[in-house]
Amino acid sequence: MAKVKTKFFCTDCGYESPKWYGKCPGCQAWNTMVEEKESTAVKTQGMNSSLFQTKQKPQAITEIEAGKEPRIQTGIQELNRVLGGGVVPGSLVLVGGDPGIGKSTLLLQTSHALTQAGLRVLYISGEESVRQTKLRAERLDALSDELFVLCESNMDLIEEAIDNLNPNFLVIDSIQTVYQPEVTSAPGSVSQVRECTSRFMRVAKIRGIATVLVGHVTKEGAIAGPRMLEHMVDCVLYFEGERHHTYRILRAVKNRFGSTNEMGIFEMHEEGLTEVSNPSELFLSERAMGAAGSTVVASMEGTRPMLVELQALVAATHFPSPRRMGTGVDNNRLSLIIAVLEKRMGMFLQNQDAYLNVAGGVKLDEPAVDLAIAVSLASSFRDAPTKPDDVIFGEIGLTGEVRAVSRAEQRVKEAAKLGFKRVILPEKSLKGWKHPKDIQLIGVNTVAEALKAALD
């Protein structure tokens, strides 16, 4: 028998090597090299099919007509927001998320909404039968004559179905189940994922079909397969949320046709996902009024202002090293703010555990939440309740100053719309825009001024 040849691939960067390495030479990651059989024959029939034939010639960039890229409205405004205004024809979108988070539900609802706009959709599932997909569609009320379902994982047969049906929108659920017959490795391996994604990319670009790939995630939360997968696609979306909560958050970590700062919020119900048009009301619905350590911060997620509750708990510890734990914020940022409070405000926190939680499970990573974190910690340390009608935002420097932040006008308008009476913000952020009359603005230059205004 002929000797089987094998190669080793890095699951993070796709580096190829004839022998195993403990540390990948390409990306320097440890224990990421996996062994796969080497393909001895290359099948070219699929690449020569009508899907890949094009007669385009090179053009000078000055001769190319630069028009506005047309977009397909999905019928789901939160999804349109994250994508940058809709789906671009011929784009390749990768959607990742934890098992059971609602990826298939979101895409099936999106497919139904597109059929209502007169488009033809092909939904290919490699994990569920067509009857299982039909049962989900009945539960979601997503039945349509223009929604076609196929249970197939063979890449050649999928291309044949695409060629015969010629859809406007294509969903592959999931890319780890699709395989090329000429590649000897198992479905979901580095070689299979790379080759299948490359062929779907050619289908999307040449035929102009908007294609969405569903990707499995690892236990660390990253999309399974080579990192090259995220480089090949046009847009990478992550569907996040706690399985024991009803809300879901859709984020874009890569988008060639829009911003990566946008966020879409959904709520999971028995009949499917529903959009949350005003997330501030959702995150403040269970807020305790007048509690020590509780503040409301105005944060920006892309172009959308959002009010979120911060909860802090400062308690004495009997251990020599106090704990600093933050949920929804950067722990390093939390330690920095505690150091500023100790040095500039004279608070003795060296024997105190500090816990900070962003209510609702939202992740806040902008520096504008610094001032609200400081007020929450000081409120819990002094056991002094904050005023329930206050909204706080601002960036803190190491010398105790409060720095200006962007989009102060939008943050203040969101607070006024939800009925808050005061906003504590940086003094320098008050310039250059018209202040609303139904809300009081308190400009501060230092952390001491902010604590005096919020707690006294």
The count of other CB atoms within 10 Å of the CB of residue 112 is 21
127, 118, 175, 177: which is closest to 149 by C-alpha? 127
Residues at the binding site for ATP are 97-104
User: Percent helix, strand, coil in the chain (nearest 5)?
Assistant: 30, 25, 45
Is residue 94 within 8 A of residue 148, CB to CB? The reply is no
Task: Name the percent of the chain lying above pLDDT 70.
Answer: 92
Per-residue pLDDT reduced to its tens digit, 218-231: 766 677 666 778 88
Per-residue pLDDT reduced to its tens digit, 67-104: 666 889 998 999 999 999 999 999 999 999 888 889 99
CA–CA gap between residue 396 and residue 187 (Å, rounded) = 50
- 189 vs 120, more confident: 120
C-alpha neighbours within 13 Å on the C-beta side of residue 132: 10
Helix or strand holding residue 341 (H, E): helix 331-345
Q: What does the mean pLDDT of the chain come to? A: 88
Average pLDDT over residues 391-404: 96
For residue 102, give both structure tokens.
Answer: 């609602």
115, 236, 243, 219: which is closest to 175 by C-alpha? 236
For residue 456, give both structure tokens.
Answer: 């006294």
Average pLDDT over residues 5-26: 84
Rg of the chain (C-alpha set)? 26
CA–CA gap between residue 416 and residue 422 (Å, rounded) = 9
Handedness of CA 390, 396, 401, 402 (dihedral sign): negative
SS3 label, residue 162: helix
Confidence of residue 51 (pLDDT cuts 50, 70, 90): very low
Give residue 55's pLDDT: 64
Per-residue pLDDT reduced to its tens digit, 409-452: 999 999 999 999 999 999 999 998 989 888 999 999 999 999 99
Q: Please name the residues in contact with 172: beta carbons below 8 A apart, sequence gap of 6 or more.
A: 124, 126, 158, 178, 200, 211, 212, 213, 214
Confidence of residue 46 (pLDDT cuts 50, 70, 90): very low
CA–CA gap between residue 52 and residue 379 (Å, rounded) = 64
For residue 108, give both structure tokens.
Answer: 């099936």
Does the pTM surpass 0.85? The reply is no
C-alpha neighbours within 13 Å on the C-beta side of residue 55: 1
Average pLDDT over residues 200-220: 89
Q: Which of 28-42, 68-82, 279-293 has the lowest mean pLDDT?
A: 28-42
CA–CA gap between residue 425 and residue 303 (Å, rounded) = 19
CA–CA gap between residue 265 and residue 274 (Å, rounded) = 9
- What is the DSSP track for 191-238? HHHHHHHHHHHHHHHHHT-EEEEEE-B-TTSSBSS-THHHHHSSEEEE
CA–CA gap between residue 159 and residue 181 (Å, rounded) = 13
Q: Please name the residues in contact with 206: beta carbons below 8 A apart, sequence gap of 6 or more.
A: 51, 52, 54
Is residue 391 within 8 A of residue 416, CB to CB? The reply is no
Per-residue pLDDT reduced to its tens digit, 230-262: 888 999 999 988 666 778 889 899 999 888 878
Cis before residue 174, ω within 30 degrees of 0?
yes
Residues at the binding site are 97-104
